[in-house]
Amino acid sequence: MGEDRGGATKSVKVEQVTSKVVETSRSKAPSFFIVLKASYVNGHSVVIPSKFVKKYLKEKRSDDILLRVLDGRTWTVNFRNGRFCAGWNKFASDNHLKEGDVCAFGLTKSQGHCFEVTIIRISEETHLSGNNSWS
């Protein structure tokens, strides 16, 4: 028999990944996570949770933000109106993001705004253990 590709299986995986992200985000750094929709993967922007924006980015109406993944590579994206805009598409493409993947964003204490981004691939359970630190 083939693998079950129904919504229930995907939903269980999302719940497992979400649980792992919440556990990871209990670090000292302010953080949020996003389960990627097709429009975030293929589009030119991603919406940041409004509670996070109001608490940590309220003084910024528009600014360049640095996104850094765990291997040290960085991308500059523009933050505007509660979204990562210009540059987001390049980040998504370079990191081979797919619908259902989870990105956890941890705000660092560097000058300017910089986020450490942990990518958890919904289709690769091996990424769920040991590779999700904010260091």
Return the domain boundaries, the chain: 28-128
List beta partners, residue 105: 32, 117
At residue 132, does pLDDT exceed 90?
Answer: no
The two beta strands, 114-120 and 62-69, are parallel
| Range in 22-26, 75-79, 105-109 with the lowest mean pLDDT | 22-26
Whether residue 43 is predicted with pLDDT greater than 50 in this model: the reply is yes
One-character DSSP codes across the chain: -PPP-SHHHHHHHHHHHHHHHHHHTTSSS-EEEEEPPHHHHHSS-EEPPHHHHHHHSTT-SEEEEEEEETTS-EEEEEEETTEE-TTHHHHHHHTT--TT-EEEEEE-SSSS-EEEEEEE-TT-GGGGSS-----
pLDDT beyond 60 at 8: no
Contact 93, 42 (CB under 8 A): no
Question: Quick one: average pLDDT of 88-95?
Answer: 94
For the four alpha carbons of 115, 108, 24 and 134, in that order, the dihedral sign comes to positive
Q: How confident is the model at residue 135 (pLDDT cuts 50, 70, 90)?
A: very low
Q: What is the pLDDT of residue 94?
A: 95
Thinking of the domain 28-128, which architecture would CATH place it in? Beta Barrel (2.40)
Residue 1: which pLDDT band, with cuts at 50, 70 and 90? very low
State how far the Cα of 34 lies from the Cα of 44, in Å rounded to an integer.
15
Predicted model pTM: 0.71
Beta bridge partners of 85: none
